[in-house]
A = this chain, B = another copy of it.
Amino acid sequence: MTKDEPSSVWLRDPGVRARSTPLTRERIVEAAVALLDGHGIEGLTMRRLAGALDVTPTALYWHVRTKEDVLDLAVDRIFGAAPVPPVTADWREDVRALARAWRTAMLEHPWAPGLIGRPVLGPNVLARTEFLQSALVRGGLSDLGLAVTTRLLANYVIGAALTESAWRRSPGAGPAPARAHITADPAAYPTLTASGHLDAERWDDESLFDRGLDAILAGACGGAVEVRGR
């Protein structure tokens, strides 16, 4: 909400607001993320972006090739914002920490998961994968099992972030009406009705996500006993 700009701008020439710092990719991406956070995916317009930077829309095209570029940069930026956790002695905890931080970063910017529709391998994402896989190697995985588990974890986190951010983004379509949609037709959905699927009273997203991580670690690395204990 409150924009925190370098104060030097305001000191330099108090009469002239904006037209301030020189336009850079850095500033463009920063402003883009702010717009996306504030108004969602369709809140980002090259014209609005230019307006927020007090610049002509066409000026952006000197620093950026296309609007898609801006979106790619914005996605990579939010992964760079959340730091990779430190390596500890417990590789399982490292995996969990990374996965949780990853999910959290995406949920803090609900527009982000929907943009993974483009191949996302900026340096920040690759660094996370490196951390994740090195933890799995410490856990004894290699070859096919390693490849399988790496993908399994990544896809689980992405899928969870995508679906959770979905009805966090669309107003009025929370889990409550979704649950009602099920109980309205118990004949069609007997199992879902009985199990309390999508019942926010019974399960919350966070703990379901954590237990899912446990199940993955148990299944891929055969440590069912340790997991049950925690």
Contact = CB atoms under 8 A, between A and B. Distances in A.
Contacts of A159: 154-160, 162
Interface stretch (A15-23, A24-32, A45-53, A113-121): A113-121
A166 B117 contact: yes
Contacts of A151: 160, 208-209, 212
A116 B150 CA distance: 23
A192 interface: yes
A59 B101 CA distance: 47
14 contacts: A117-B166, A120-B166, A121-B178, A123-B188, A134-B190, A142-B195, A147-B196, A147-B208, A151-B209, A152-B215, A155-B163, A156-B156, A215-B220, A218-B218
Interface of A: 41, 113-114, 116-121, 123, 126-127, 129-130, 133-134, 137, 142-144, 146-152, 154-160, 162-163, 165-167, 169-170, 173, 178, 181-182, 188-192, 195-197, 202-203, 208-209, 211-212, 214-220, 222, 224
Given A117-B166, A154-B163, A160-B155, A130 B188 contact: yes
Main secondary structure of the interface of A (DSSP, over half): helix
Nearest to A173: B119
A203 to B, nearest CB: 5
A178 B160 CA distance: 24
A74 to B, nearest CB: 15
B197 A129 contact: yes
Contact of A127 (B146, B154, B169, B188): B188
Contacts of A137: 191, 195
Given A130-B192, A147-B203, A148-B208, 7 more contacts: A123-B188, A133-B192, A151-B160, A155-B162, A158-B159, A158-B163, A159-B162
